[in-house]
């Protein structure tokens, strides 16, 4: 298993290269928006600012620099940005952590 670090709207969380990004962010306590969870709606899209993902086939439109977090498997450390402030269910997550 490869341990990875994701920087999400300035918040650092740990993850892996086996599961979809959305699931990993939820497990870390973040609450990205989603609807279908299978690449149809586009609600989970985010900007990929650094790193690489293996994005499975999807129907939703994404811009060239965007990925669907519900069907993207991280391949490296990532920096991603959602276009809204993420809700967090965990206390103590540090925004803008460098
Ligand atoms: S939640 Fe619908 S495309 Fe990801």
Tally of domains in the chain: 1
With respect to residue 89, please indicate whether it lies within any of the assigned structural domains.
no
Pocket probe for ligand 1: among 36, 55, 56, 59, the residue whose CB has the most ligand atoms within 8 Å is: 36
Looking at the domain assignment, is residue 12 inside a domain? yes
Is 90 part of any domain? no
Ligand 1 atom closest to Cα of 41?
Answer: 2
Q: What is the CATH number of the domain that holds 41?
A: 3.10.20.30
Q: What residue ranges in 1-98 does DSSP mark as E strands?
A: 3-8, 11-16, 30-31, 45-50, 53-55, 66-68, 72-74, 78-81, 87-88
Whose CA is closest to 58, among 78, 79, 44, 74?
A: 44
What pTM did the predictor assign? Answer: 0.89
Tens digit of each residue's pLDDT (9 = 90 or more) over 20-41:
999 999 999 999 999 999 999 9
| 70 Cβ closer than 6 Å to some ligand 1 atom | yes
**Does 78 reside within a domain?**
yes
**CB neighbour list of residue 94: distance below 8 Å, 6 or more residues apart:** 11, 12
Q: Is it the case that residue 98 has pLDDT exceeding 50?
A: no
Q: Which domain holds residue 47?
A: 3-84
Mean of the pLDDT values across residues 50-72?
95
Residue 44 lies in a domain: yes
Evaluate whether residue 10 is within a structural domain: yes
Q: How many angstroms from the chain centroid is the CA of residue 95? A: 15
């Amino acid at each position: 298993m490869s341990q990875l670090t994701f920087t999400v709207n300035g918040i650092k969380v740990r993850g892996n290269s086996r599961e979809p990004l959305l699931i990993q962010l939820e497990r870390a306590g973040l609450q990205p928006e989603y609807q279908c969870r299978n690449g149809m709606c586009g609600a989970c899209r985010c900007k990929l600012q650094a790193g690489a993902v293996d994005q499975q086939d999807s129907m939703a439109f994404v811009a060239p620099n965007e990925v669907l977090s519900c069907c993207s498997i991280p391949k490296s450390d990532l920096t991603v940005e959602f276009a809204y402030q993420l809700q967090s269910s965990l206390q103590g997550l540090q925004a803008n952590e460098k």
